[in-house]
């Protein structure tokens, strides 16, 4: 058994310190925003709220989540995320399966085409003109169709398929199973770890997408949650944010409204992570390294 040296110990300490600092850099701003969303208004206005909340109230959060504009933007983002994730994971899994077969005619040429699209794109203006010609401007499908298949995610699933024993398929075919039976009853059930991980990647991508809606969505009624958050951050008036009268909001600060809106829009996607966390590390490692 190798004895750990002082250099190994120093390296471990350095790595842990780096990870702790990195975690603090990411967590402290979130803690500050959360504290502002539940702190008393006088503490927010006077700038005394730091990492921990001062006082406790949920009135601001209640006003935010009951706002008609917030609920509409929230519903649109949820719809785009759910539909986009389901369609993306189906198409990506189905695309990766034939490409995992080394005896597929023309597989090298097809892989070159996929890799090319991953490395190069048409650019912003050609993409916008294409979406306009397809009549997708101010259409929510424009937020789903262009990014429906990620080549990187497809390659991860393809590598996972290739890591499965070929004897599984051979046994099924000897028993009379056809291609679709093998795929849907053997391959896909065994691929749940990587599919759950890739589904999380897609869901986070659709939920956090800001650039696409900003470019392609001009209709106020179709604004996603990210565009709504932009309005919240840019607009200093709490009355405009929550669509309430100034008299109703005289005890609420715009900064508290902003913090409550950010918390209300962040919590849903954070709640998804625990359900796929058990698949996350296993899915990424197995899918990215050939056995």
For the residues 87-98, what does the mean pLDDT come to? 94
For the residues 164-173, what does the mean pLDDT come to? 85
Nearest of 195, 216, 224, 206 to residue 286 by alpha carbon: 195
- What are the pLDDT digits (tens) for 118-158? 888 888 888 999 999 999 999 999 999 988 999 999 998 99
pLDDT above 50: residue 12:
yes
For residues 206 and 265, the model is more confident at: 206
Give 237's contacts (C-beta < 8 A, 6+ positions apart). 254
Average per-residue pLDDT for the chain: 83
Residue 51 is classified by DSSP as: S
For residues 290 and 164, the model is more confident at: 164
* Rounded percentage of the chain residues whose pLDDT exceeds 90: 25
Give the per-residue pLDDT at 291. 43
CATH match of 59-288 with 1.10.3720.10: yes
d(C-alpha 182, C-alpha 170), whole Å = 9
In the chain, how long is the greatest CA-to-CA distance? 76
For the residues 249-275, what does the mean pLDDT come to? 76
- Does residue 237 contact residue 269 with C-beta atoms inside 8 Å? no
Give the per-residue pLDDT at 143. 92
Give the per-residue pLDDT at 257. 79
pLDDT above 90: residue 43:
no
* Structural domain boundaries in the chain: 1-56, 59-288
């Amino acid at each position: 058994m190798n004895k750990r040296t002082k250099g190994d110990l120093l390296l471990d300490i350095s790595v842990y310190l780096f990870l702790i600092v990195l975690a603090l850099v990411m967590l402290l701003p979130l803690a500050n925003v959360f504290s502002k969303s539940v702190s008393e208004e006088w503490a927010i206005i006077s700038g005394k709220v730091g990492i921990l909340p001062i006082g406790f109230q949920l009135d601001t959060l209640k006003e935010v989540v009951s706002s008609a504009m917030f609920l509409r933007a929230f519903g649109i983002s949820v719809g785009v995320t759910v539909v986009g994730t389901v369609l993306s994971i189906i198409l990506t899994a189905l695309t990766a399966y034939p490409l995992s077969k080394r005896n597929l005619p023309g597989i090298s040429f097809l892989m070159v085409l996929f890799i090319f699209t991953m490395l190069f794109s048409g650019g912003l203006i050609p993409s916008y003109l294409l979406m306009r010609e397809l009549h997708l401007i101010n259409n929510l499908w424009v937020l789903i169709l262009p990014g429906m298949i990620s080549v990187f995610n497809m390659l991860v699933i393809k590598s996972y398929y290739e890591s499965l024993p070929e004897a599984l398929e051979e046994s099924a075919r000897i028993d009379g199973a056809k291609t679709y039976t093998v795929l849907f009853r053997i391959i896909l059930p065994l691929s749940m770890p990587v599919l759950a991980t890739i589904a999380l990647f897609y869901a986070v991508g659709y939920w956090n997408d800001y650039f696409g809606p900003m470019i392609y969505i001009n209709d106020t009624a179709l604004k996603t949650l990210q565009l709504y958050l932009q309005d919240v951050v840019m607009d200093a008036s709490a009355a405009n944010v929550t669509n309430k009268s100034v008299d109703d909001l005289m005890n609420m600060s715009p900064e508290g409204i902003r913090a409550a809106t950010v918390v209300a829009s962040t919590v849903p996607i954070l709640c998804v992570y625990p359900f796929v966390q058990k698949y996350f590390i296993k899915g990424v490692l197995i899918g990215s390294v050939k056995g």
